[in-house]
Structure formats: C-alpha cells, structure tokens
C-alpha cells in the first residue's frame, strides 16, 4: 500500500495492468478476423473495430474497479454470489473460452514461426507453448511488475509490426470515414463482425483485469487513495485501449488498402504474401514479427487468466505446467490434424464472442451493487451503458446463429 499512496511520481509508475490486459485485444485472432474483414469487405467494418474498442474500454475499467474496490477478482466475486452447481457450469464455459483463446494464440504463433523460419506448424505450436510457459515463470518468480514490463515491450513490438505499413501506403481518408457508418453486407460480414468483436472484447481479459489491478495496487481504503487509483486506472485503460485500437484498425486498413480483391488473402500466410508483394519484404518481415510477438505474449496472458479463473471459481490452485497443458493440448491437436489454421482462428473468435455475456452480465451486476461497491458503485449512466454493451453483443450472436442455420 505504501507505493499506492505515494505522491506524484508514482502516477506514471502505477500504469501497467491495462497494458497486460490489452495484449488480449491484439492477439492472432484479431489478425485473422481483421485482415479477413478488410480483404473481403474493404472499409465496410471499420465501425466494428471502433465500437468494439469503446466497449472494451468500458468493461476493462469496470473490471479493474471491481478488483480495487472489493479486493476480489471477478471470478472470486462470481463464486461468492453463486451456488455450487452454478459455479461449476460457469467454470466449464469459462474453460471453453480459455481453450478457444489459446487456440487462436498458439496457432498464430505457429503461423508466424513458419513464415519467419519455415518451421512445421506443430513444432511452431510447441515452441509457442514453451515460450509462453517461460513468460509465466517470469511472472511467478519475478513478480507482476517485471511481467508487465515484458508484456508491454512485446505490445510495442506488435504495434511497430502492424502500424509500419500505414506509413508505406496511406489508406484513403474518405473511405475510412465512410467505414464508420454501421452496416453489413450479408451473413459473412456478420460472421466476421462477430469474430472481430470476440477478438476485441475478450472474456478472459475481462476476468483478468480485476486480478491484475488488485494484485498490483491492493485493496485501498475508500476516500482519496482509492479515488486517485481509480483515476489513474482510467488513464491506464484509456492509453492501453488507444494503442490496441490503433493496432486493430491498422490490420483492417492494411487489408482494405492493399489486399481487397486478391484471391489469396483468405489465410494469414496468403495475406503475408500479398503484403510482401504490394508493400515489400521489409514490411512483410515486420508483419511476421508482430504476429509472432502477438502469439507469444497473448498465449502467456491467456494462460495467466485461465489460472486466475480456475482458482477464483473453484477455489483450487493447480501446478503451472498442468494449467498450461489444459488449454495448450487442444490447440496442438488442431495443428496436428491439419485443420486450416486461419479459419480456425476466425471460428475461435466467434466462440469467444459467445462467452462475452457470461463475463459482462455478472460484471455489470456486481459493479452496480451499492452494497458491494459502496460509493464507487456504477452511476445510472454507466450501468445503462454496461447493459447496452452486453445486450448488443448478445443480440449479434443470436442473429449470427439464425443466419448460420438459415444458410
């Protein structure tokens, strides 16, 4: 607590938890969904990225606030307010979300290693899993602050890898602005929009941020210390989401500007080849490096979140290696049996989108509870916005299921 209440210099020092959570918003699933959207529909779905990023900023702040005010992670708070059968069911769906998360991240890392070094996908997946385990060991042995620095460094690598292409060929401003108008163009655009939403408002990041904020800052007393931390947390979330949003938008703009109309962009490998052909080998190399950093960082953060979810809901702690293997093995199986990796990435993001309401509904309910949150409970406006986010995402998923079955 001494660090938390220290004066001005600690303001910037206290930033960091949101940057770890933000890694979830620039994982390989984002690459697949955003590039597919840009290549197939041009600038049509720019509005989805902007809307998803605004939604993400709100829910990440609410998650962090829950951890700071109550001293409980979101999974722990759900456990406190749910009977045993409900907790088991809640954990099972959260575990499915964790598997889908790891699938996207391990497959993305494997694709990046194949692009950079020509490694087989399965070997690349194993290497990605091992490196992510080493990053988790850093967090376990050296503490959260060092882990935050490593992950933030990887976030900067990701941002450099994807933003660089925008300086080579700038997208038409008028087309980008036109893409801010909400609309769809058939069921496939809705599928991709849902995938983009699932890749941006990530369920495991919602669960994780409450623990990151609590573990970093503790449980400050009501009053000036807590108010200051909440203010710093808003800045933390705002800056992190701005970086993540810029990276996501750059992915779509790269595809919409350079890849639209090409027949070979239905996979990340094809998109990489198209980027090399249109923007040159240097940009293509940065693209692959950004993808690799994304896979390595996001899979370690995802595994960290999985452990927090399991511990919070089941009140049990499992060895780090076992926890890692639970979600890593399904991803390796997908690579081993030869499922199209890019399509697997997009579908994994749709699965994640289905898991979002299970994270958002209890989050909004808990942070609106004045008995639990005291004076820091959500205002009526914040509560209304939170329920709107949950409703929009849920309705989009229902429409997606209907259109998919009707095809």
DSSP 317-356: ---HHHHHHHHHHHHHHHHHTT--HHHHHHHHHHHHHHHH
Residue 332 clears pLDDT 50, i.e. is over it: yes
For position 11, what pLDDT does the model report? 60
Q: Which two tokens stand for residue 355?
A: 């898991």
Residue 330 clears pLDDT 70, i.e. is over it: yes
Helices (H), 169-280: 173-178, 187-200, 203-217, 224-258, 268-279
For position 54, what pLDDT does the model report? 93
Residue 49 clears pLDDT 90, i.e. is over it: yes
Coil, strand, or helix at residue 13?
helix
For position 5, what pLDDT does the model report? 42
For position 42, what pLDDT does the model report? 93
Lowest mean pLDDT, pick from 16-25, 54-63, 289-298, 363-372: 16-25
Helices 28-41 and 84-117 pack at an angle, to 10 degrees, of 70
Lowest mean pLDDT, pick from 39-48, 138-147, 202-211, 296-305: 138-147
Q: Which two tokens stand for residue 103?
A: 């699938």
Residue 61 clears pLDDT 60, i.e. is over it: yes
Span 355-368, average pLDDT = 92
For position 141, what pLDDT does the model report? 85
Query: Of 343, 371, 391, 361, which Cα lies nearest the Cα of 36?
Result: 343
Mean pLDDT of the chain: 86
At 357, is the pLDDT very low, low, confident or very high (cuts 50, 70, 90)? confident
400 Cβ contact partners less than 8 Å away, ≥ 6 residues apart: 190, 191, 194, 350
For position 224, what pLDDT does the model report? 87
Span 271-276, average pLDDT = 87
Q: Which two tokens stand for residue 93?
A: 């769906």
Lowest mean pLDDT, pick from 9-13, 124-128, 235-239: 9-13
Residue 338 clears pLDDT 80, i.e. is over it: yes
Residue 6 clears pLDDT 50, i.e. is over it: no
* CB 12 within 8 Å of CB 236: no
At 290, is the pLDDT very low, low, confident or very high (cuts 50, 70, 90)? very high
Domain residue ranges of the chain, discontinuous segments joined by +: 13-98+144-266+340-406
For position 59, what pLDDT does the model report? 94
For position 8, what pLDDT does the model report? 40
At 407, is the pLDDT very low, low, confident or very high (cuts 50, 70, 90)? low
Query: Of 170, 174, 182, which Cα lies nearest the Cα of 50?
Result: 182
Q: Buried (b) or exposed (e) across 209-248, using 16+ Cβ within 10 A?
A: bbbbbbebbbebeeeeebebbbebbeebbeebbebbbbbb
Residue % of the chain over a pLDDT of 70 = 93
Span 108-119, average pLDDT = 94
Span 58-79, average pLDDT = 95
Q: Tens of pLDDT along 137-194?
A: 888 888 788 888 899 899 999 999 999 888 888 899 999 999 999 999 988 888 788 7
pTM beyond 0.85, yes or no: yes
């Amino acid at each position: 607590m001494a660090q938390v209440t220290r004066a001005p210099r600690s303001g910037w020092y206290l930033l960091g938890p949101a940057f770890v959570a933000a890694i979830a918003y620039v994982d390989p699933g984002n690459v697949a969904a955003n590039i597919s959207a840009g290549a197939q529909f041009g600038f049509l779905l720019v509005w989805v990225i902007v809307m998803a990023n605004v939604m993400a900023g709100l829910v990440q702040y609410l998650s962090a606030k829950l951890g700071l005010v109550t001293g409980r992670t979101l999974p722990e708070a759900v456990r406190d307010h749910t009977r045993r059968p409900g907790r088991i069911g809640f954990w099972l769906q959260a575990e499915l979300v964790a598997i889908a998360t790891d699938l996207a991240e391990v497959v993305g890392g494997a694709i990046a290693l194949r692009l950079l070094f020509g490694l087989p996908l399965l070997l690349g997946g194993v290497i990605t899993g091992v490196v992510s385990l080493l990053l988790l060991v850093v967090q376990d042995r050296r503490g959260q602050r060092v882990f935050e620095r490593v992950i933030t460094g990887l976030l900067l690598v990701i941002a450099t890898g994807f933003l660089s292409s925008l300086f080579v060929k700038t997208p038409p401003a008028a087309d980008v602005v036109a893409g801010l108008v909400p609309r769809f163009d058939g069921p496939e655009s809705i599928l991709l929009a849902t995938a983009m939403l699932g890749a941006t408002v990530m369920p495991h990041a919602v669960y994780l941020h409450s623990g990151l904020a609590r573990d970093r800052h503790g449980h400050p007393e009501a009053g000036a210390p807590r108010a200051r931390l909440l203010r710093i947390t808003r800045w933390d979330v705002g800056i992190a989401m701005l970086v993540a949003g810029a990276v996501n938008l750059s992915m779509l703009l790269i595809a919409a500007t350079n890849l639209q109309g090409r027949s070979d962009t239905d996979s990340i490998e094809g998109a990489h080849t198209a980027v090399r052909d249109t923007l040159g080998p240097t940009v293509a190399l940065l693209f692959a490096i950004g993808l690799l950093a994304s896979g390595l960082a996001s899979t370690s953060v995802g595994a960290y979140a999985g452990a927090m979810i399991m511990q919070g809901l089941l009140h049990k702690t499992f060895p780090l290696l076992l926890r890692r293997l639970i979600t890593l093995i399904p991803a390796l199986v997908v690579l081993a049996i030869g499922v199209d990796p890019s399509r697997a990435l997009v579908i994994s993001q749709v699965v994640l989108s289905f898991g979002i309401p299970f994270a958002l509904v209890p989050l909004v309910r808990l942070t609106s509870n004045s008995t639990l949150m005291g004076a820091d409970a959500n205002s009526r406006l914040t509560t209304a916005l939170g329920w709107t986010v949950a409703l929009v995402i849920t309705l989009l998923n229902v429409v997606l299921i209907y259109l998919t079955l009707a095809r």
